[in-house]
Structure 1
Amino acid sequence: MKLEEAIRKRRSVRKYKAARLTVQTVRELLELAACAPSASNGQPWVFVVVEDRDYLQSLSDRAKTFWLEYMQDAPAMKRYRKVLSSPEFNVFYNAPVLVLIYGDSNVRTFICDCSLAAQNLMLAAWDRGIGSCWIGFADHIANTPEVKAELKVPEKYELVAPIILGYPDGACERRGVRKEVQVINWKYPHR
């Protein structure tokens, strides 16, 4: 697959086959993620890979509990009340792999740098027929001291990107229309 095709056709996948990814495949994807550019070549990222389904379910349940309680302070989250209240809903969509990309918070550009690594990860996965999705519902819970201790993540690291991976179960279609590119200024010398 050509890069442009991967960029244009990649979709967030929310339905996965039960098939596991091989360790080699996950390692290759992490290596490609780590090829991302970073400010001053700081490479502030570290990765945590979770394949334990019971742990993923526990993490999902804790994330749902957090968001349901937090809705009082975040009215925009209320639209998710029904789905988050469902015992069947798993915030990780039952994907076989969760990759948590943490960044060294002592590096000023860690959020941007780790986001670039996440994009590399998702494009490399798509190129191999593997779906991915950035899971916003996991961003708080996976950054708590409790979960970081469970995952042996040093204190200085902050979660940037919780990405699920797996083989898509069904067609992956675009859910919305892309907005037209908006250029608010294009400064150039008189030609």
Structure 2
Amino acid sequence: MAVNLQKGQKISLEKEAGTGLTRVVMGLGWDVAKKKGFLGFGGGSVEIDLDSSCLLFDDAGQMVDIVWFRQLQSKDGSIKHSGDNRTGAGEGDDEQIAVDLSRIPANVKSLVFTVNSFTGQSFSQVENAFCRLINGGNNQEIARYNLSCQGDHSAQIMAKLYKHNGEWKMHAIGENGQGRTFEQLMPQIRSYL
């Protein structure tokens, strides 16, 4: 049974999954926005390109690697991005980042997941946006976080996976921000390391 995460909530991934986790997938999904036409005519769709990223940090809070649309795999191969979906077309997850927790380098202590509107729209213009964490072993949804909310933000620090006492935990951060890529979020991200 998935946990519907609230902003700031922390969960133990192993307890929620009911077993030790070795593989997790962060899924990002959204729907193509419909353009409103004059008197109902001339509608269509507006291109919205949301991008998911996974930033890897060490104990000192230094970024040691990143997986995003410009680098679809971590240097060690433990994290892989499914590729850039530029429209939100299709059902389910539009982008996925697969993480093999057993292969994460020992110097990596936390993984931060972000979403940015590369095309610049605020999330209030994006329909049915969500992120979710899936047990990669059995494809069961562990946790879900609703991203569609009111506001003029164009980015969000979604969640952090971190190792604590040998166990992977998740912090649903849900902090809104501005920026077309993760770089603009770095000052905010640093406060969670």
Q: TM-score range by the shorter chain?
A: 0.3 to 0.5
TM-score by length of 1: 0.33
Structure showing the higher strand proportion among its residues: 2
Which structure dedicates a bigger proportion of its chain to helix?
Answer: 1
RCO higher in structure (CA 8 A, sep ≥6): 1
Give 1 or 2 for the bigger CA radius of gyration.
1
